[in-house]
Amino acid sequence: MGKEIVLSGIRATGNLHLGNYYGALSKFVRMQDDYDCLFFIADLHALTTSPDPKQLHENVKNIICEYLAAGLDPEKATIFVQSDVPEIPELYLLLNMHVGIGELMRTASFKDKARKQLGIKSESEDIEKEIIGTDSNKRVNAGLLTYPTLMAVDILIQKAHKVPVGKDQEQHLELTRRFARRFNSFYGVDLFPEPTNFDFGGAPVKVPGLDGSGKMGKSEGNCIYLIDDEKVLRKKVMRATTDTGPTEPGQAVSAPVENLFTLLELTSTPEVVKHYRDAYADCSIRYGDLKKQLAEDILKVTLPIRERYMEIRGDEEYLGRVVKAGAEKARERASKTLKEAREIMGIRKFY
Ligand code: ADP
Ligand code: TRP
Protein backbone atom coordinates (compact mmCIF):
# COMPACT_ATOMS: atom_id res chain seq x y z
CA MET A 1 0.00 0.00 0.00
CA GLY A 2 1.04 3.58 -0.55
CA LYS A 3 3.39 2.85 -3.45
CA GLU A 4 3.49 5.52 -6.13
CA ILE A 5 1.52 4.70 -9.27
CA VAL A 6 3.45 4.29 -12.52
CA LEU A 7 1.79 4.05 -15.90
CA SER A 8 3.12 3.88 -19.44
CA GLY A 9 2.21 2.47 -22.83
CA ILE A 10 3.49 1.89 -26.30
CA ARG A 11 1.44 2.18 -29.48
CA ALA A 12 0.60 -1.05 -31.29
CA THR A 13 2.20 -0.16 -34.61
CA GLY A 14 4.75 -2.95 -35.16
CA ASN A 15 7.55 -4.70 -33.32
CA LEU A 16 9.70 -3.05 -30.70
CA HIS A 17 13.23 -1.90 -31.49
CA LEU A 18 16.27 -0.99 -29.42
CA GLY A 19 15.03 2.61 -29.14
CA ASN A 20 11.78 1.45 -27.54
CA TYR A 21 13.75 -0.89 -25.32
CA TYR A 22 16.24 1.60 -23.90
CA GLY A 23 13.83 4.57 -24.04
CA ALA A 24 10.90 2.79 -22.43
CA LEU A 25 10.63 -0.98 -21.92
CA SER A 26 13.86 -1.58 -19.98
CA LYS A 27 12.74 1.13 -17.56
CA PHE A 28 9.35 -0.53 -17.12
CA VAL A 29 11.11 -3.75 -16.16
CA ARG A 30 13.32 -2.00 -13.62
CA MET A 31 10.40 -0.17 -12.03
CA GLN A 32 8.06 -3.08 -11.46
CA ASP A 33 9.53 -4.07 -8.08
CA ASP A 34 9.35 -0.67 -6.46
CA TYR A 35 6.15 0.91 -7.76
CA ASP A 36 2.51 0.11 -8.33
CA CYS A 37 2.92 -0.34 -12.10
CA LEU A 38 0.50 -0.44 -15.01
CA PHE A 39 1.81 -0.99 -18.54
CA PHE A 40 -0.48 -1.14 -21.52
CA ILE A 41 -0.64 -1.52 -25.27
CA ALA A 42 -2.05 1.63 -26.87
CA ASP A 43 -4.16 0.11 -29.63
CA LEU A 44 -6.63 3.02 -29.81
CA HIS A 45 -3.74 5.42 -30.32
CA ALA A 46 -2.51 3.22 -33.18
CA LEU A 47 -5.78 4.01 -35.01
CA THR A 48 -4.92 7.72 -35.22
CA THR A 49 -2.40 7.12 -38.01
CA SER A 50 -2.61 3.63 -39.38
CA PRO A 51 -6.02 1.99 -39.03
CA ASP A 52 -5.44 -1.47 -40.47
CA PRO A 53 -7.90 -4.11 -39.26
CA LYS A 54 -5.73 -6.96 -40.56
CA GLN A 55 -2.64 -5.84 -38.69
CA LEU A 56 -3.96 -4.30 -35.49
CA HIS A 57 -4.59 -7.48 -33.51
CA GLU A 58 -1.22 -8.96 -34.54
CA ASN A 59 0.52 -5.74 -33.51
CA VAL A 60 -1.15 -5.80 -30.10
CA LYS A 61 -0.07 -9.41 -29.68
CA ASN A 62 3.52 -8.56 -30.68
CA ILE A 63 3.79 -5.98 -27.94
CA ILE A 64 2.18 -8.13 -25.24
CA CYS A 65 4.76 -10.82 -26.09
CA GLU A 66 7.62 -8.35 -26.18
CA TYR A 67 6.63 -6.88 -22.81
CA LEU A 68 6.60 -10.34 -21.28
CA ALA A 69 9.72 -11.56 -23.09
CA ALA A 70 11.70 -8.53 -21.93
CA GLY A 71 10.87 -9.37 -18.31
CA LEU A 72 7.61 -7.66 -17.35
CA ASP A 73 6.04 -9.91 -14.77
CA PRO A 74 2.22 -10.03 -14.63
CA GLU A 75 2.49 -10.96 -10.95
CA LYS A 76 4.15 -7.62 -10.25
CA ALA A 77 2.80 -5.24 -12.90
CA THR A 78 -0.64 -4.82 -14.41
CA ILE A 79 -0.39 -5.49 -18.15
CA PHE A 80 -3.44 -4.57 -20.22
CA VAL A 81 -4.77 -3.55 -23.61
CA GLN A 82 -6.13 0.01 -23.83
CA SER A 83 -9.32 -0.97 -25.68
CA ASP A 84 -10.18 -3.47 -22.91
CA VAL A 85 -10.89 -0.51 -20.63
CA PRO A 86 -14.09 1.19 -21.92
CA GLU A 87 -13.86 3.79 -19.14
CA ILE A 88 -10.97 5.34 -21.10
CA PRO A 89 -13.01 6.39 -24.17
CA GLU A 90 -15.78 7.69 -21.92
CA LEU A 91 -13.49 9.92 -19.89
CA TYR A 92 -11.78 10.96 -23.13
CA LEU A 93 -15.09 12.37 -24.34
CA LEU A 94 -15.62 14.21 -21.06
CA LEU A 95 -12.09 15.62 -20.84
CA ASN A 96 -12.26 16.84 -24.44
CA MET A 97 -14.84 19.40 -23.25
CA HIS A 98 -12.00 21.09 -21.39
CA VAL A 99 -9.42 21.00 -24.17
CA GLY A 100 -8.95 23.73 -26.76
CA ILE A 101 -8.65 22.95 -30.47
CA GLY A 102 -5.92 25.58 -30.69
CA GLU A 103 -3.65 23.97 -28.13
CA LEU A 104 -4.08 20.61 -29.83
CA MET A 105 -3.26 22.07 -33.23
CA ARG A 106 -0.09 23.61 -31.85
CA THR A 107 1.21 20.28 -30.49
CA ALA A 108 4.46 19.34 -32.23
CA SER A 109 3.55 15.66 -32.75
CA PHE A 110 0.24 16.63 -34.36
CA LYS A 111 1.94 19.02 -36.76
CA ASP A 112 4.61 16.44 -37.65
CA LYS A 113 2.17 13.63 -38.22
CA ALA A 114 -0.34 15.83 -40.07
CA ARG A 115 2.46 17.08 -42.31
CA LYS A 116 3.50 13.51 -43.05
CA GLN A 117 -0.03 12.49 -43.93
CA LEU A 118 -0.57 15.48 -46.18
CA GLY A 119 2.81 14.99 -47.82
CA ILE A 120 3.99 18.47 -46.79
CA LYS A 121 7.75 18.71 -46.59
CA SER A 122 8.44 22.30 -45.67
CA GLU A 123 7.94 23.56 -42.12
CA SER A 124 6.74 26.92 -43.36
CA GLU A 125 3.70 25.74 -45.28
CA ASP A 126 0.40 26.63 -43.67
CA ILE A 127 -0.82 23.24 -42.49
CA GLU A 128 -3.97 24.64 -40.93
CA LYS A 129 -5.13 25.73 -44.37
CA GLU A 130 -4.27 22.34 -45.80
CA ILE A 131 -6.13 20.55 -43.03
CA ILE A 132 -9.27 22.64 -43.41
CA GLY A 133 -9.24 22.27 -47.21
CA THR A 134 -11.95 19.81 -48.29
CA ASP A 135 -9.72 17.16 -49.75
CA SER A 136 -7.22 17.05 -46.90
CA ASN A 137 -10.09 16.87 -44.45
CA LYS A 138 -10.32 13.21 -45.23
CA ARG A 139 -6.75 12.50 -44.37
CA VAL A 140 -6.03 14.07 -40.99
CA ASN A 141 -8.54 12.55 -38.62
CA ALA A 142 -9.95 14.15 -35.48
CA GLY A 143 -8.48 11.26 -33.48
CA LEU A 144 -5.01 12.43 -34.37
CA LEU A 145 -5.85 15.94 -33.22
CA THR A 146 -7.17 14.69 -29.89
CA TYR A 147 -4.32 12.20 -29.39
CA PRO A 148 -3.03 14.19 -26.37
CA THR A 149 -6.46 14.08 -24.69
CA LEU A 150 -6.56 10.30 -25.00
CA MET A 151 -3.03 9.99 -23.67
CA ALA A 152 -3.85 12.31 -20.77
CA VAL A 153 -6.86 10.13 -19.94
CA ASP A 154 -4.74 6.95 -19.99
CA ILE A 155 -2.64 8.56 -17.29
CA LEU A 156 -5.21 10.52 -15.30
CA ILE A 157 -7.81 7.76 -15.09
CA GLN A 158 -5.26 5.71 -13.12
CA LYS A 159 -4.17 8.79 -11.14
CA ALA A 160 -0.58 7.95 -12.08
CA HIS A 161 2.31 9.90 -10.57
CA LYS A 162 5.16 8.75 -12.79
CA VAL A 163 5.17 8.10 -16.52
CA PRO A 164 8.38 6.61 -17.94
CA VAL A 165 8.62 7.73 -21.59
CA GLY A 166 11.25 8.98 -24.01
CA LYS A 167 12.07 12.61 -24.56
CA ASP A 168 9.77 12.89 -27.58
CA GLN A 169 6.74 12.40 -25.29
CA GLU A 170 7.48 15.26 -22.94
CA GLN A 171 5.16 17.74 -24.62
CA HIS A 172 2.31 15.26 -24.23
CA LEU A 173 3.09 14.99 -20.54
CA GLU A 174 3.15 18.75 -20.21
CA LEU A 175 -0.34 18.86 -21.76
CA THR A 176 -1.51 16.13 -19.39
CA ARG A 177 -0.43 18.25 -16.43
CA ARG A 178 -2.15 21.28 -17.91
CA PHE A 179 -5.43 19.41 -18.46
CA ALA A 180 -5.29 17.98 -14.93
CA ARG A 181 -4.73 21.44 -13.43
CA ARG A 182 -7.47 22.93 -15.55
CA PHE A 183 -10.03 20.30 -14.60
CA ASN A 184 -9.14 20.51 -10.92
CA SER A 185 -9.32 24.29 -10.82
CA PHE A 186 -12.46 24.61 -12.99
CA TYR A 187 -14.44 22.38 -10.63
CA GLY A 188 -12.56 23.35 -7.46
CA VAL A 189 -11.50 19.76 -6.81
CA ASP A 190 -8.32 17.80 -6.35
CA LEU A 191 -9.14 14.81 -8.53
CA PHE A 192 -6.10 14.39 -10.75
CA PRO A 193 -2.46 14.41 -9.61
CA GLU A 194 0.03 16.03 -12.01
CA PRO A 195 2.27 13.31 -13.43
CA THR A 196 5.97 13.63 -14.24
CA ASN A 197 8.36 11.76 -16.51
CA PHE A 198 10.65 9.27 -14.90
CA ASP A 199 14.22 8.29 -15.55
CA PHE A 200 16.81 6.63 -13.37
CA GLY A 201 18.96 9.71 -12.78
CA GLY A 202 20.75 10.72 -16.02
CA ALA A 203 19.28 12.39 -19.10
CA PRO A 204 16.65 10.47 -21.07
CA VAL A 205 18.37 8.31 -23.69
CA LYS A 206 17.90 8.79 -27.38
CA VAL A 207 18.94 5.66 -29.25
CA PRO A 208 20.44 6.56 -32.64
CA GLY A 209 19.78 4.84 -35.97
CA LEU A 210 22.20 2.64 -37.93
CA ASP A 211 21.99 4.90 -40.96
CA GLY A 212 23.82 7.82 -39.41
CA SER A 213 20.60 9.53 -38.31
CA GLY A 214 20.05 10.71 -34.76
CA LYS A 215 17.05 8.54 -33.90
CA MET A 216 16.14 4.93 -34.31
CA GLY A 217 12.46 4.83 -35.25
CA LYS A 218 9.92 2.53 -36.88
CA SER A 219 9.11 4.95 -39.65
CA GLU A 220 12.78 5.69 -40.33
CA GLY A 221 13.53 2.09 -41.39
CA ASN A 222 16.82 2.10 -39.46
CA CYS A 223 15.90 -0.23 -36.61
CA ILE A 224 17.33 -3.19 -34.82
CA TYR A 225 14.30 -5.13 -33.62
CA LEU A 226 14.30 -7.09 -30.39
CA ILE A 227 13.17 -10.13 -32.35
CA ASP A 228 15.64 -9.86 -35.25
CA ASP A 229 17.36 -13.20 -35.69
CA GLU A 230 21.11 -13.48 -35.32
CA LYS A 231 21.92 -13.37 -39.01
CA VAL A 232 19.70 -10.40 -39.78
CA LEU A 233 20.98 -8.49 -36.79
CA ARG A 234 24.65 -9.06 -37.62
CA LYS A 235 24.03 -8.00 -41.21
CA LYS A 236 22.31 -4.78 -40.12
CA VAL A 237 25.16 -3.84 -37.79
CA MET A 238 27.88 -4.67 -40.32
CA ARG A 239 26.11 -2.44 -42.85
CA ALA A 240 25.81 0.53 -40.47
CA THR A 241 27.01 3.85 -41.87
CA THR A 242 30.56 4.94 -40.90
CA ASP A 243 33.20 7.17 -42.50
CA THR A 244 36.68 6.67 -43.95
CA GLY A 245 38.29 6.57 -40.50
CA PRO A 246 40.45 8.95 -38.43
CA THR A 247 43.67 10.16 -40.02
CA GLU A 248 45.01 12.34 -37.20
CA PRO A 249 45.33 11.47 -33.51
CA GLY A 250 42.58 13.04 -31.40
CA GLN A 251 40.40 13.82 -34.43
CA ALA A 252 36.72 14.66 -33.74
CA VAL A 253 34.30 11.74 -34.20
CA SER A 254 31.76 12.07 -37.03
CA ALA A 255 28.04 11.73 -36.28
CA PRO A 256 27.54 8.21 -37.76
CA VAL A 257 30.53 6.81 -35.85
CA GLU A 258 29.45 8.56 -32.65
CA ASN A 259 26.12 6.74 -33.10
CA LEU A 260 27.95 3.42 -33.04
CA PHE A 261 29.75 4.48 -29.86
CA THR A 262 26.41 5.46 -28.31
CA LEU A 263 25.01 2.00 -29.09
CA LEU A 264 28.16 0.41 -27.68
CA GLU A 265 27.81 2.47 -24.51
CA LEU A 266 24.27 1.16 -24.08
CA THR A 267 25.05 -2.49 -24.65
CA SER A 268 28.69 -3.04 -23.75
CA THR A 269 31.00 -2.74 -20.73
CA PRO A 270 32.91 0.50 -19.97
CA GLU A 271 36.21 -1.36 -20.68
CA VAL A 272 35.13 -2.31 -24.18
CA VAL A 273 33.93 1.22 -24.89
CA LYS A 274 37.25 2.63 -23.66
CA HIS A 275 39.20 0.20 -25.82
CA TYR A 276 37.48 1.42 -28.99
CA ARG A 277 37.51 5.09 -27.98
CA ASP A 278 41.29 4.81 -27.43
CA ALA A 279 41.72 3.00 -30.74
CA TYR A 280 39.84 5.82 -32.44
CA ALA A 281 41.98 8.45 -30.74
CA ASP A 282 45.26 6.85 -31.88
CA CYS A 283 43.89 6.01 -35.35
CA SER A 284 44.30 2.25 -34.97
CA ILE A 285 40.57 1.55 -35.01
CA ARG A 286 39.06 -0.87 -37.52
CA TYR A 287 35.37 -0.26 -37.90
CA GLY A 288 34.84 -3.91 -38.87
CA ASP A 289 36.06 -4.97 -35.42
CA LEU A 290 33.97 -2.35 -33.68
CA LYS A 291 30.88 -3.55 -35.53
CA LYS A 292 31.54 -7.22 -34.77
CA GLN A 293 31.86 -6.37 -31.09
CA LEU A 294 28.73 -4.25 -31.20
CA ALA A 295 26.72 -7.03 -32.86
CA GLU A 296 27.90 -9.49 -30.17
CA ASP A 297 26.90 -7.18 -27.35
CA ILE A 298 23.51 -6.31 -28.82
CA LEU A 299 22.80 -10.02 -29.32
CA LYS A 300 23.49 -10.65 -25.64
CA VAL A 301 20.59 -8.30 -24.87
CA THR A 302 18.19 -9.26 -27.64
CA LEU A 303 18.62 -13.03 -28.13
CA PRO A 304 17.14 -14.06 -24.77
CA ILE A 305 14.20 -11.74 -25.48
CA ARG A 306 13.75 -13.27 -28.93
CA GLU A 307 13.85 -16.80 -27.52
CA ARG A 308 11.21 -16.10 -24.90
CA TYR A 309 9.10 -14.25 -27.47
CA MET A 310 9.08 -17.32 -29.71
CA GLU A 311 8.07 -19.52 -26.76
CA ILE A 312 5.05 -17.49 -25.71
CA ARG A 313 3.84 -16.13 -29.03
CA GLY A 314 1.82 -19.28 -29.79
CA ASP A 315 0.38 -19.56 -26.30
CA GLU A 316 -2.81 -17.60 -26.85
CA GLU A 317 -4.30 -19.04 -23.70
CA TYR A 318 -1.53 -17.64 -21.52
CA LEU A 319 -1.56 -14.25 -23.27
CA GLY A 320 -5.32 -14.08 -22.86
CA ARG A 321 -5.07 -14.82 -19.18
CA VAL A 322 -2.46 -12.10 -18.64
CA VAL A 323 -4.40 -9.32 -20.33
CA LYS A 324 -7.74 -10.40 -18.90
CA ALA A 325 -6.40 -10.16 -15.36
CA GLY A 326 -4.70 -6.88 -16.33
CA ALA A 327 -7.91 -5.41 -17.74
CA GLU A 328 -9.81 -6.29 -14.58
CA LYS A 329 -7.27 -4.53 -12.40
CA ALA A 330 -7.00 -1.52 -14.70
CA ARG A 331 -10.78 -1.19 -14.83
CA GLU A 332 -11.11 -1.19 -11.05
CA ARG A 333 -9.32 2.12 -10.63
CA ALA A 334 -10.53 3.51 -13.97
CA SER A 335 -14.19 3.03 -13.12
CA LYS A 336 -13.73 4.67 -9.75
CA THR A 337 -12.09 7.73 -11.31
CA LEU A 338 -14.71 7.93 -14.06
CA LYS A 339 -17.50 7.82 -11.49
CA GLU A 340 -15.84 10.66 -9.57
CA ALA A 341 -15.38 12.74 -12.73
CA ARG A 342 -19.01 12.29 -13.77
CA GLU A 343 -20.23 13.36 -10.32
CA ILE A 344 -17.96 16.39 -10.34
CA MET A 345 -19.17 17.43 -13.79
CA GLY A 346 -22.80 17.17 -12.75
CA ILE A 347 -23.75 14.06 -14.68
CA ARG A 348 -26.31 12.41 -12.43
CA LYS A 349 -28.83 9.71 -13.00
CA PHE A 350 -32.59 10.07 -12.69
CA TYR A 351 -33.10 6.45 -11.80
P1 ADP B 1 8.64 4.92 -32.85
O2 ADP B 1 9.33 6.25 -32.78
O3 ADP B 1 9.56 3.83 -33.30
O4 ADP B 1 7.33 4.97 -33.60
P5 ADP B 1 7.02 5.04 -30.47
O6 ADP B 1 6.69 6.45 -30.82
O7 ADP B 1 5.93 4.02 -30.55
O8 ADP B 1 8.26 4.54 -31.34
O9 ADP B 1 7.66 5.05 -29.01
C10 ADP B 1 7.37 4.18 -27.93
C11 ADP B 1 8.27 4.55 -26.76
O12 ADP B 1 9.66 4.34 -27.11
C13 ADP B 1 8.19 6.03 -26.32
O14 ADP B 1 8.30 6.10 -24.91
C15 ADP B 1 9.38 6.65 -27.00
O16 ADP B 1 9.84 7.79 -26.29
C17 ADP B 1 10.41 5.53 -26.95
N18 ADP B 1 11.36 5.62 -28.08
C19 ADP B 1 11.10 5.42 -29.40
N20 ADP B 1 12.21 5.57 -30.16
C21 ADP B 1 13.23 5.87 -29.30
C22 ADP B 1 14.65 6.12 -29.46
N23 ADP B 1 15.23 6.08 -30.65
N24 ADP B 1 15.35 6.40 -28.35
C25 ADP B 1 14.77 6.43 -27.11
N26 ADP B 1 13.46 6.20 -26.89
C27 ADP B 1 12.68 5.91 -27.96
N1 TRP C 1 2.10 8.50 -26.98
C2 TRP C 1 2.93 7.38 -26.55
C3 TRP C 1 3.95 7.05 -27.67
O4 TRP C 1 3.76 7.39 -28.80
C5 TRP C 1 2.10 6.16 -26.23
C6 TRP C 1 1.15 6.42 -25.10
C7 TRP C 1 -0.22 6.50 -25.19
C8 TRP C 1 1.47 6.62 -23.74
N9 TRP C 1 -0.75 6.75 -23.98
C10 TRP C 1 0.24 6.83 -23.06
C11 TRP C 1 2.67 6.64 -23.04
C12 TRP C 1 0.21 7.06 -21.67
C13 TRP C 1 2.61 6.88 -21.64
C14 TRP C 1 1.39 7.08 -20.98
O15 TRP C 1 4.91 6.41 -27.37
Q: Could you give the CA distance from residue 335 to residue 87 in angstroms, rounded to a whole number?
A: 6
Q: Which residues of 38-71 are buried (b: 16+ CB within 10 A; e: fewer)?
A: bbbbbbbbbbbbeeeeeebeebbbbbbbbbbbbb
The answer to whether residue 35 scores a pLDDT higher than 80 is: yes
What's the gap in Å between 321 CA and the centre of ligand 1? 27
The answer to whether residue 213 scores a pLDDT higher than 90 is: no
In short, whether 154's Cβ falls inside 6 Å of ligand 2 is yes
Annotated catalytic residue, options 76, 111, 167, 215: 215
Helix (H) or strand (E) holding 78: strand 78-81
Q: Whose CA is nearest to atom 19 of ligand 1?
A: 20
In short, whether 226's Cβ falls inside 6 Å of ligand 2 is no
What's the gap in Å between 23 CA and the centre of ligand 1? 6
Question: What confidence category does residue 138 fall into, taking pLDDT thresholds of 50, 70 and 90?
Answer: low
Helix (H) or strand (E) holding 104: helix 101-105
Question: What confidence category does residue 182 fall into, taking pLDDT thresholds of 50, 70 and 90?
Answer: very high
Whether 61 is catalytic = no
- The number of C-alpha atoms within 13 Å of 232 and in the hemisphere containing its C-beta is 11
- Name 9's Cβ contacts closer than 8 Å, sequence gap at least 6: 39, 40, 41, 42, 45, 82, 154
The answer to whether residue 131 scores a pLDDT higher than 70 is: yes
Q: What is the pLDDT of residue 180?
A: 98
C-alpha distances in Å from residue 22, one per residue of 27, 184, 207, 330:
7, 34, 7, 25
Q: Looking at residues 71-94, what average pLDDT do you find?
A: 98
What's the gap in Å between 152 CA and the centre of ligand 2? 9
What's the gap in Å between 166 CA and the centre of ligand 1? 6
The answer to whether residue 239 scores a pLDDT higher than 80 is: yes
Q: What is the pLDDT of residue 7?
A: 98
Whether 215 is catalytic = yes
The string of pLDDT tens digits covering residues 305-340 is 999 999 999 999 999 999 999 999 999 999 999 999
The answer to whether residue 109 scores a pLDDT higher than 90 is: yes
Residue to probe by mutation, ligand 1, list 20, 47, 165, 167, most atoms within 8 Å of CB: 20
Q: Looking at residues 289-295, what average pLDDT do you find?
A: 98
Mean pLDDT over the full length of the chain: 94
Contact by Cβ (8 Å): 117, 143: no
Q: What is the pLDDT of residue 134?
A: 62
Question: Distance from CA of residue 197 to its chain's centroid?
Answer: 12
The string of pLDDT tens digits covering residues 36-67 is 999 999 999 999 987 889 999 999 999 999 99
The answer to whether residue 156 scores a pLDDT higher than 90 is: yes
Mean pLDDT comparison of 10-14, 50-54, 167-171, 213-217, highest-scoring range: 10-14
